[in-house]
Amino acid sequence: MVTKQISVFIENRKGRLGEVLDVLKSGGVNIISMSLADTAEYGLLRIISDKPQDGRAALSAAGFSSMLTDVFILKIPHEPGALQQILRVIADEELSVEYMYGLSAGGNEASIVVKMSDLAKADEVFAKHKIQTLCYSDLI
């Protein structure tokens, strides 16, 4: 099962991240996880939220360049080698990870957000190998 992620391109300047977050707050969009990568000139903010379509619409209306991306949220046990086992399955099935970042930690399990090169095949592989995928409603 895929989840929609909001990806936002922002200028790398003081206060710009706060402006994005203000827009989402005003739109009633709750952020569950985010990742920010930057270069000298711009940043790429990736957000998992409760209302990705509303978030993207609010950001676009405020003049931010954004898009929705299909990603997987994978549930993994908190134990040594758990992520490596999943990555081995992905490699053995000839899938590619485009990027990933942590979503949450606590208890006996964690979650990661993974962008895969082939969504349909990844969905089949995760089901075949009993790798649990989550959506926003599973996290609250």
CATH number, domain containing residue 134: 3.30.2130.10
In a shared domain, residues 135 and 75: yes
Question: What's the mean pLDDT in 51-56?
Answer: 97
Structural domain containing residue 95: 71-139
Question: Quick count: other Cβ atoms within 10 Å of Cβ 81?
Answer: 9
The pTM (predicted TM-score) of the whole model is 0.86
Backbone angles phi, psi at 88, to 5 degrees: -65, -45
Mean pLDDT of the chain: 91
End of a domain among 47, 69, 91? 69
Question: What's the mean pLDDT in 14-28?
Answer: 95
Q: Which two tokens stand for residue 76?
A: 């993994």
In a shared domain, residues 37 and 80: no
Q: How far apart are CA 1 and CA 97, in angstroms?
A: 16
| pLDDT at site 1 | 87
**Which residues face 97 on adjacent strands?**
116
In a shared domain, residues 82 and 61: no
Q: How far apart are CA 14 and CA 92, in angstroms?
A: 43
In a shared domain, residues 80 and 134: yes
pLDDT at 132 over 70: yes
| pLDDT at site 13 | 86
pLDDT tens digits, one per residue of 100-119: 998 765 566 778 899 998 99
N- to C-terminal Cα distance for the chain? 17
Residue with structure tokens 């995760």? 126
